[in-house]
Chains A and B, each alone.
Chain A
Amino acid sequence: MLILAVDSSTPVAGAALVDEDRVIIESFTNYKKTHSETLLPTVNRIMRECDCSISDIDVLAVTAGPGSFTGLRIGMAAVKGISMAADKPVVAVSTLDTLAGNIAGSDALVCALLDARKNEVYCGFYEVGGTRPEILKEPMVCTPETFLNAALELAAYKHKDKIILLGDGYYRYSEYFNIELKDQLLPMPGHLMLPRAAAAGILAVHKARQGEFEDVYHLRPLYIRLSEAEYRLGKGAV
């Protein structure tokens, strides 16, 4: 099963070709350029480099959020266009799951954190004893303090000595987390800290096997947060 995975949900732009459990090629760019300019050229480049045409692809994977609203839509709109034109099914992978997918075979509590601005983080909580992250708690958006309390509570309940924090949400508040967690924090090397399209692709293989495909006509990003205007209206999503 050959999967083309794209991720533009954070400042990182990623694209990868994954065949079952093998990553064939991956592009990871954490550099200031807009995703709208780079995403399709990147996809085009990695496909060419591997002598791959769109007809060779079995499944498309996209990180569906949470993340930057605009970034999420750029990736999802492109994937919708490709999916319709090439008649390929789509698997959506949570950006937080993708982050947690960077770690495996650990006893630690893994928390994926994305900077949500406004002094908040999107966060997901995982166990990663096997090769795939297992979700422990619904993802949420909250202050770093609220997140930390939830993480500590969960770690105690699950008898986990160590906590791994991943994502740009960690970088944003690293000073605070380092002080609060001290030795309980298990630091990870930089190449595991941000979402990788390859990880999204690997997770997508599993979802595709389970038949977890999306309806491209109605697929929408997982924002978690309402828009400002909807929030003010106080009625939920319009």
Chain B
Amino acid sequence: MKDILILGIETSCDETAASIVKNGRHILSNVINSQINIHRQFGGVVPEVASRKHIENIAVVVDNAFKEAGLGYNDIDAVAVTNQPGLIGALLVGLSFAKGFAWALDRPLLAVNHLHGHIYANILEHQDIPFPAVCLVVSGGHTSLLHMKDINHYAVIGETRDDAAGEAFDKVARFLGLGYPGGPAIQKAAALGEAGKVKLPRVYLDKNEFEFSFSGLKTAAMNLWKKMEKNGEPEVSDLAAEFQQALVEVLVEKSIKAAKLYQVDSILIAGGVAANHHLRLLMKEKAGQENIKVFCPSLSLCTDNAAMIAGIAYQQYITKSYAPLDLNAYPGLLSL
């Protein structure tokens, strides 16, 4: 069978990314232009600034994806693009570019849900994940548990009621003056401290065993910090370590509980927070005790990228699930 080459385009947040993936598996190029340094001076992603950077960078990023793969524009079979969820103005840049590019090449357009892409990042790297599985999707915008029959069929069994895990990391990091983005900042500070020296609650929500809530933990961390400051000689690294521990423990415990209830042998972690070392370690340790295998993408595929977009779109290409030219972008999640 002929190889299928798909160009993926991703602009849902603050990364302008393009990638070419062969047969949904082999990454031929993976180009990412990150705006982190620009948004850092604002203390978080500014949607209008992100959109402005996307329109400036999109053409160069796409061109580089072809150069890195050693391919011409005409060599690709389809164009896949993230059209939800994300910052609407940012999504529209990638979507509009993808439409123009696909239309002018007379190639099909494929619409991709960004979170499906994150989940698929696991498939890109691990050839034989045993399904069914439980997947923990953790990012700046989402914290969800999925029960997956296979990569294309799954049900949401729990979500966060308030802040997403990544959002809690960002807010607490900003409050503690640790900088942006919050996940890596807290992880770095936590490495110098010790969890348990100060105490934060673990929020399990007994009645809804697979739902999450992080806003209480966030507030508790902020209040504790104020108290520590008042009492003198506060150690920010100890608070960061305890905060990370409290958040990660809940994520891990609920994931394993779900895996046991649904009797699956594998847990997948997806999304930007999947890059957190402590989450990866603790999940592997605790799941290992239950003979459950844990899969997570390598660090470079945890954060936003277009390889995951081009990868998951392969199935849509095969089933001819093409998107129409009037495809729109959606900021919120219609369905996971």
Contact = CB atoms under 8 A, between A and B. Distances in A.
Q: How large is the interface on A (under 10, 10 to 19, 20 to 34, 35 or more residues)?
A: 35 or more
B38 interface: yes
Contact of B100 (A37, A77, A229): A77
B58 A40 contact: no
A17 B114 CA distance: 36
Contact of B101 (A43, A76, A82, A221): A82
Greatest chain A CB density within 10 A among B38, B48, B56, B62 is at: B48
B96 A36 contact: yes
B268 to A, nearest CB: 32
A70 B51 contact: yes
Given A36-B92, A40-B103, A81 B326 contact: no
A217 B326 CA distance: 25
B93 A77 contact: yes
B103 A82 contact: yes
A73 B49 contact: no
Contacts of B125: none
Nearest to B37: A238
A77 B62 contact: no
B322 interface: no
A74 B89 CA distance: 9
Given A44-B103, A81-B101, A217-B59, A229 B42 contact: yes
Contact of A233 (B41, B55, B89): B41
Nearest to A76: B55
Nearest to B106: A54
Interface residues of B, number: 38
Interface string A205-228: 000000000001111110100011
A78 B98 CA distance: 7
A28 B259 CA distance: 56
B59 A38 contact: no
Contacts of A237: 52
B97 interface: yes
B98 A84 contact: no
B100 A69 contact: no
B265 interface: no
Contacts of B98: 81
A198 interface: no
B60 interface: yes
A85 interface: yes
Nearest to A43: B103
Interface in A180-238: 216-221, 223, 227-230, 233, 237-238
B41 A238 contact: yes
Contacts of A218: 56, 60
B228 to A, nearest CB: 31
B293 to A, nearest CB: 41
Contacts of B97: 77-78, 80-81
Nearest to A223: B52
Interface string B94-125: 11111111111100000000000000000000
B89 A36 contact: no
B328 interface: yes
B13 to A, nearest CB: 15
Interface in A71-121: 73-86
A85 B105 contact: yes
Given A220-B56, A229-B42, A85 B92 contact: no
A150 B89 CA distance: 33
Given A74-B92, A78-B96, A229 B58 contact: no
A169 to B, nearest CB: 21
Interface string A39-59: 111011000000000100000
A233 B42 contact: yes
Contacts of A54: 103-104
B333 interface: no
Nearest to B56: A220
Interface in B296-336: 325-329
Interface of B: 38, 41-42, 46, 48-49, 51-52, 54-56, 58-60, 62-63, 73, 88-89, 92-105, 325-329
